Amino acid sequence: MLARVHAGLAASADTKRATAEACAPAIVRAAERLIETFRGGGRLLAFGNGGSAADAQHLAAELAGRFERERPGLPALALTANSSDLTAIGNDYGFDEVFARLVQAHGRPGDLAVAISTSGNSPNVLAGVAAARAAGLATLGLAGRGGGKLAAAVDLAIVVPSDVTARIQEAHICVIHLLCELVDAALFPETARG
């Protein structure tokens, strides 16, 4: 068991190092886009399935609540958080339409849609991105496994260089924290860390 723990932590660290090498410029561009969105009065709409749904909620919570600095809340919504929305839309329109319908309901030009999928091929995530683009939102994708269809569907993709779901999700959380840190530093440079 101890050997597995060491191996798992080493693999996670290796994936994060590889992500730094492959994705650092894209992470900066994503942060710049997010900063621009908030400065322009837009909001973030995040979505994904399973662990990626949890990551979408994590991102929205860090922005609407706080990350490390005391500051005003930022307009960020996780489209995965309302079970009544998800089940009603899934029942009436099919699960592939849940995020598309919610983007249509809540998204406006000037907003940023953040689509999270470890495979990059989740049909409902891709439909959400298509709805976001049709509504004039900017789009950011977080993926792994080469990016799948998501990488080509979004304005900007951050693709973790791994084929292992757990390692991709661990790197996505790290990317999410980096985005929050960069947003806080740019928008609230005078606030103290909490």
Q: How confident is the model over 154-168, as pLDDT tens digits?
A: 999 999 999 999 999
Q: Using the CB atoms, write b or e for 66-104: b if 16+ within 10 Å.
A: bbebebeebebbbbbeeeebbeebeeeeeeebbbbbbbe
CA distance 171 to 158: 10
Residue 192 lies in a domain: no
What CATH number has the domain bearing residue 49?
3.40.50.10490
Domain count of the fold of the chain: 1
| pLDDT for the residue numbered 91 | 98
Query: What digits encode the pLDDT tens for the residues 15-32?
Result: 999 999 999 999 999 999
Q: Over 80: is that where the pLDDT of 193 sits? A: no
The boundaries of the domain holding residue 123 are: 2-187
Q: Over 90: is that where the pLDDT of 190 sits? A: no
Residue 170 lies in a domain: yes
CA distance 47 to 80: 6
Residue 154 lies in a domain: yes
Residue 194 lies in a domain: no
Residue 17 lies in a domain: yes
Residue 23 lies in a domain: yes
Residue 114 lies in a domain: yes
- Give the model's confidence band at 49: pLDDT under 50 very low, under 70 low, under 90 confident, else very high: very high
Residue 81 lies in a domain: yes
